[in-house]
Structure 1
């Protein structure tokens, strides 16, 4: 995955999509260069598990930059999970 990713507050609100273009959530906050994502209610438990996200009782989950393939003006695209 891309190792030169530098997430900032300007990335807040962007949709997070898998490598097939399916939206899995939105960036709720960027803190210390790490995105915290509110998962889409329809995202599968399998995808959540692959991202290392636990219980659905949490509002948002940290996104490991190793999962990020690219960042555009509109979205954060993940690589293969």
Structure 2
């Protein structure tokens, strides 16, 4: 993933195209996502974010399918 293509405020989508959060910040080649507070721990785990109470989540390269004009599209299961 090239974080130079990701700006704070960019929408983040799951594998089904549902918006799950926004990029809160990009630091040291790592994008941090502020997930929708309504997402359950099960959904967070399925997206690869695990079960944590942090406000933002580091976006790892292997979690990203594509980055385009619409936003960041995550890999995952349907």
TM-score of Structure 1 vs Structure 2, range by shorter chain: 0.7 to 0.9
Match of 2:49 in 1: 52
| TM-score (norm: length of structure 2) | 0.82
Please list every run of 5 or more consecutive structure 2 residues that lacks an aligned counterpart in the other structure: none
Please list every run of 5 or more consecutive structure 1 residues that lacks an aligned counterpart in the other structure: none
Q: Could you list the runs of 4 or more consecutive aligned residues of structure 1 that deviate by over 3 angstroms after TM superposition? A: none
| TM-score (norm: length of structure 1) | 0.79
Match of 1:78 in 2: 74
Question: Counterparts of 2:43 and 2:52 in 1: how far apart (Å)?
Answer: 13
Question: Counterparts of 1:35 and 1:42 in 2: how far apart (Å)?
Answer: 21
Residue 42 of structure 1 is aligned with which of 38, 41, 45?
38
3-state SS of 2:76 partner: coil
Question: Counterparts of 1:6 and 1:47 in 2: how far apart (Å)?
Answer: 25
Q: 1:48 to 1:32 in 2, by over 3 A?
A: same
Question: Counterparts of 2:28 and 2:16 in 1: how far apart (Å)?
Answer: 28
